[in-house]
A and B are shown apart, each in its own frame.
Chain A
Amino acid sequence: MSNEINAGSMADIAFLLLIFFLVTTTIASDKGILNVLPPKQDPNVPPPDIKKNERNIFNVLINANNDLLVEGEYRRTAEGLDKDFKEFIMNFGAPNEEAAALYKSLPASLQGQALRRPDSSDHPGEAVISIKTNRGTNYAVFLEVFDLAKKAYFGVYSERVGLTPDEYRALTGDDEASTALQNKGKEGIPMAISIAEPDKTGGN
């Protein structure tokens, strides 16, 4: 008679447990794209009348057929929008004193991206990306455009502090060092992505 316990069924038992946990598992995913909604509007107070030059607003319209109108130009897909966004943000067409100082503080690779076109944004502090949808627009398309706008900003921020965009986005702000890096990337270049209320056509 052997002294060993028969362990042959051990694998079966473990398999059974394994399958149970495989089935019940939902790998937790709290990842996504952060957005902060504007505060509630007081019906008694008219919305502030903001005068902004048309050149400082980058308009993206998405209609109910998921077609795009980018600065008055028709596009079928959102591909390549991130580059346009980035060019627009970093245009430095007519920088004021503050923005000129900001420009000087940027690394050379970012300075080289300033196209200084007169019909594009004055400086990053003024630039606003506006995304407007229909009620019938697909959520997936909207999120794609929003994602590309974020990509443009994170691209600028990360280049400024010398990280890759992935590393920059992974900064938690938990400790001083990462908060400092975050702020250094953002300083003077606010992430101005405006999401307009969708209009009524093409949806319910």
Chain B
Amino acid sequence: MAKFRKKKLSGGDQINTSALPDIIFMLLFFFMVTTVLREQDVLVDQKIPQSSQLQKLQNKTLISYIFIGKPKNASLYGSEPRVQANDVLISSPEIVQWVNQERDKLPEADRGSITISLKVDKEVKMGPISDVQTELRNADARKVLYASTKKTEVD
């Protein structure tokens, strides 16, 4: 028993914490640099599926986002999967108009290469997605990115 009590700290009694602010500041700067302040509230569930063959898009300005999933607020919007563009839930026929609005925001030279990033929840069925794709074809916005995260397992 006494074995433990005999031990004494050789140096001072306190750990030197003077480097702590520096460490914290470093973390702080990391997060400050990587932060993109949330531009919009996502109103639908978003559990993005994982896959392995990911590609990165270089030009961020050309991307517009569509979110598809079950509404988080089921009492207000029901439990069927819905489509969200910008800040509101829209129905399929409105997508063409939305795409045209998004396209108008781009410089004229880039309008043809608008890319739609589909952020789709895992639980969604193909039905709503196919409806959205049909509308995107109608709007002639044919470049689509199925947003996905890297599979963690190794094969």
With A34-B55, A37-B144 known as contacts, the answer to whether A14 contacts B25 (CB < 8 A) is: yes
Q: Is the CB of B35 within 8 A of A17?
A: no
* Cβ–Cβ < 8 Å partners of B37 in chain A: 24
Q: Is the CB of A143 within 8 A of B49?
A: yes
Question: B58: shortest Cβ distance to chain A, in Å?
Answer: 6
Stretch from B85-93, B103-111, B121-129 contacting the other chain = B121-129
Q: Is the CB of B138 within 8 A of A170?
A: no
> How far apart are the CA atoms of A136 and B126 in the complex, in Å?
6
> How far apart are the CA atoms of A147 and B50 in the complex, in Å?
10
With A10-B21, A135-B125, A203-B127 known as contacts, the answer to whether A18 contacts B137 (CB < 8 A) is: no
Interface string of B117-155 (1 = CB under 8 A from A): 100111111110110010011101011111111100000
> Which residue of A has the minimal Cβ distance to B129?
A139
Q: Is the CB of B52 within 8 A of A18?
A: no
> Which residue of B has the minimal Cβ distance to A9?
B21
Q: Which of A15, A18, A32, A134 contacts B146 (CB 8 A)?
A: A32
With A31-B54, A169-B55 known as contacts, the answer to whether A140 contacts B122 (CB < 8 A) is: yes
CB-CB contacts below 8 Å: B14-29 with A: 17-18, 20-21, 24-25, 27-28
Q: Is the CB of A21 within 8 A of B120?
A: no
* Cβ–Cβ < 8 Å partners of A170 in chain B: 56
> Which residue of A has the minimal Cβ distance to B134?
A197
Say yes or no for A77: interface residue by CB 8 A criterion.
Answer: no
* Cβ–Cβ < 8 Å partners of B137 in chain A: 37-40
* Cβ–Cβ < 8 Å partners of A133 in chain B: 126
With A30-B57, A30-B117 known as contacts, the answer to whether A151 contacts B35 (CB < 8 A) is: no
Say yes or no for B66: interface residue by CB 8 A criterion.
Answer: no
> How far apart are the CA atoms of A136 and B81 in the complex, in Å?
12
Q: Which of B121, B130, B142, B146 contacts A135 (CB 8 A)?
A: B130
> How far apart are the CA atoms of A17 and B63 in the complex, in Å?
30
With A24-B35, A31-B150 known as contacts, the answer to whether A147 contacts B51 (CB < 8 A) is: yes
Question: B33: shortest Cβ distance to chain A, in Å?
Answer: 9
Q: Is the CB of B147 within 8 A of A29?
A: yes
Q: Which of A28, A36, A143 contacts B148 (CB 8 A)?
A: A143
CB-CB contacts below 8 Å: A12-68 with B: 14-15, 17-18, 21-22, 24-40, 64
Report the 3 A-B pairs with minimum CB-CB distance, sorted nearest first: A135-B127, A21-B31, A147-B51
A-B contacts, 29 of them at CB < 8 A, read A7-B18, A10-B21, A11-B20, A14-B24, A24-B35, A25-B31, A28-B34, A29-B149, A30-B60, A30-B117, A30-B147, A33-B145, A33-B148, A34-B57, A36-B144, A64-B125, A134-B126, A136-B125, A138-B123, A140-B123, A147-B148, A154-B53, A165-B53, A169-B53, A169-B54, A198-B127, A203-B126, A203-B127, A204-B125
